[in-house]
Amino acid sequence: MPTPSPAPSPIPAADMPALPPGWVWTTVGEIAPVNQRNSTLRELPDTTEVTFVPMAAVDAESGSIQKPESRLLGQVRKGFTSFSEGDILFAKITSCMENGKVAIARGLINQLGFGSTEFHTLRPSRSVIAEWLFYYVRQQSFRDEAELSFSGTAGQLRVPTKFLDNHPFPLPPLAEQHRIVAAIETQLTRLDAGVASLKAAKAKLKRYRASVLKAACEGRLVAQDANDEPADVLLRRILGDRGQGIGKRRATELAAPDTTGLPELPTGWCWATAEQLCDFITKGTTPSADKLYESIGDVPYIKVYNLTHQGMLDFSIRPTFIDKKTHLQELARSRVFPGDVLMNIVGPPLGKVSIVPSTHPEWNINQAIAIFRPLSGFDRKYLSLCLLTDSILNWAVRRAKATAGQFNLTLEICRDLPIPLPPLAEQRRIVAEVERLLSVVTALEATVTANLKRAERLRQSILKRAFEGKLVAQEAR
């Protein structure tokens, strides 16, 4: 419950932006004590039922608590963060804070809650309503400032308590807080409806993309031609052309693929393993941080976030480079060349696949990416379509090592991947038809993504105007 408190002390406004008449600058800690424990807890028996909120239960997108748990006080009294009805939970650890995990604790059992130790709690005083504080700390600008205050070690950075205690806070009269919050929620409700429609459209496009890839790799996208060389003949020639040695195994000794759970193929197609169709399959290596450069360097270094679900490389995302010496001496195994097909082998999500472009003569990759170098007679673009297909990905996931929700594909799984092999001429017809169909989808997805980003900018603009006193007209005093 809100804590009785005296009127907040204003802070000097000399260096602060001007506020509307009747507003004052104070601090977050002044109007909402940080991490204040409920003093009644020590008097309650261990059998008292309380609400438990793990970090995963806070939805960053909606700013709400989803599916909280019920526990006994004795189970959580020690080792967890305590809070009360109406408190605000603010994730303090990266990347939960950066993603915006903030929520108002409402509907708590016995008005008591416990949760992750990675929450800061804010307890609104009588001078502020919870929603006004909630929307303030939900602003991207607030989170950006919080990120600058991070302390701790890499991967375990946290927002310190003093950042919240001392952060300036614009405080209007209570009646005006209620009016502005009502206006915020009206506008955000309309915006959320538009965002929901955009996300529904994006999901439909994703399903259509998946259906095109499925049809392509099951022989249902283009017509078969009886004059094409059958795939089994093509496969024998590929295996013969690659010679006798494949690592420690001869080409003729490569095992047939395991096609359990996979569809039947059309006449003229056959199943093959990725190892049978590729000259080289391995994974990359990650160098020490001092070998990587964010500025332009000799050799571009590809990370998982540079791969896409559309089969194209996006090296505009935080491009990283390594020097030529490191590339050739320490990371020779990780060298990739234009035309190589890359796939992430750590997820979720899996299914990020890209063909290395010719913008640089050589590239390098990290340990979470596998290289597939197709042999002559096997179209690299067709291979990328197969690696993007749900049935192939699901086959791999069923065999993957899973730890704490993370999938890791071994090189053995990558080499054993079953590939539906059509005649070479049909591979090229399939690629052309997929590119034709999905070019429209890619354009539409780009439009939807741009509109979603525009909606988020509008959301932040609404909040900014609210806390500047520009969202609603002020009432005469």
Residue 239, both tokens: 């295996």
The pLDDT, as a whole number, for residue 250 is 47
Q: Are strands 401-403 and 270-273 parallel, antiparallel or unpaired?
A: unpaired
Bin 255: left if φ > 0, else alpha if -120 < ψ < 50, else beta: beta
Q: What pLDDT score was predicted for residue 60?
A: 94
Which DSSP letter does residue 286 get? P
**What per-residue confidence (pLDDT) applies to 247?**
46
Is residue 354 within 8 A of residue 342, CB to CB? The reply is: yes
Report the C-alpha gap between 432 and 184 in whole angstroms: 49
* Under 8 Å between Cβ of 78 and 15: no
**pTM, 2 dp:** 0.81
User: 24-171 architecture in CATH?
Assistant: Alpha-Beta Complex (3.90)
Q: Do domains 24-171 and 229-422 have the same CATH topology?
A: yes
Judge if the upstream peptide bond of residue 361 is cis by omega within 30 degrees of 0.
Answer: no
Q: What are the structure tokens assigned to 225, written together? A: 């031609």
Residues 6+ apart with CB under 8 A from 370: 281, 282, 283, 284, 342, 343, 344, 345, 409, 411, 414
Read off φ and ψ for residue 63, nearest 5 degrees.
Answer: 70, 40
Decide: 76 and 43 in contact? Cβ < 8 Å: no
> CA 407, CA 266: separation in Å to the nearest integer?
32
Q: Judging by beta carbons within 10 Å of its beta carbon (0-12, 13-18, 19+), is residue 192 exposed, middle or buried?
A: middle
Identity at 303, one-letter amino acid code: K
Please list, in sequence order, all residues whose beta carbon lies within 8 angstroms of the beta carbon of residue 437, skipping any fewer than 6 positions away.
212
> What CA–CA distances, in Å, run from 207 to 119, 308, 315, 387, 441?
37, 16, 26, 16, 11
**Cα-to-chain-centroid distance, residue 116:** 21
pLDDT in tens, the chain (477 residues): 444 445 666 666 567 889 999 999 999 999 999 999 988 899 999 999 999 999 999 999 999 999 999 999 999 999 999 999 999 999 999 989 999 999 999 999 999 999 999 999 999 999 999 999 999 999 999 999 999 999 998 668 999 999 999 999 999 999 999 999 999 999 999 999 999 999 999 999 999 999 999 999 999 999 999 999 999 999 999 988 765 444 444 455 567 899 988 999 999 999 999 999 999 899 998 888 878 877 666 899 999 999 988 888 999 888 889 888 888 888 888 999 999 999 999 988 888 999 999 999 999 999 999 999 999 999 999 999 999 999 999 999 998 887 767 888 999 999 999 999 999 999 999 999 999 999 999 999 999 999 999 999 999 999 999 999 999 987 765
What is the Cα–Cα distance from 411 to 7, expressed in whole angstroms?
64
Residues 172, 243: Cα–Cα separation, whole Å: 79
Q: Other C-beta atoms within 10 Å of 189: how many?
A: 9
270-273/418-421 β-pairing: antiparallel
Could you tell me the CA-to-CA distances from 49 to 1, 52, 78, 109, 111 in Å, in that order? 18, 10, 15, 7, 10
Instruction: Provide the greatest CA pair distance for the chain.
Output: 91
Running DSSP on this structure, what letter comes out for residue 447?
H
Question: What residues does each domain of the chain span?
Answer: 24-171, 173-224+425-477, 229-422
130-156 burial, b at 16+ Cβ within 10 Å, e below that, comes to bbbbbbbbbbeebbeebeeebeeeeee
User: Of the candidates 253, 274, 283, which has an alpha carbon nearest to the alpha carbon of residue 411?
Assistant: 283
Q: In this predicted structure, what is the pLDDT of residue 39?
A: 85
* Architecture of the domain made up of 229-422: Alpha-Beta Complex (3.90)
CA-based Rg of the chain, rounded to a whole angstrom? 28
CB 10 within 8 A of CB 26: yes
pLDDT at 2: 47
pLDDT of residue 5: 47
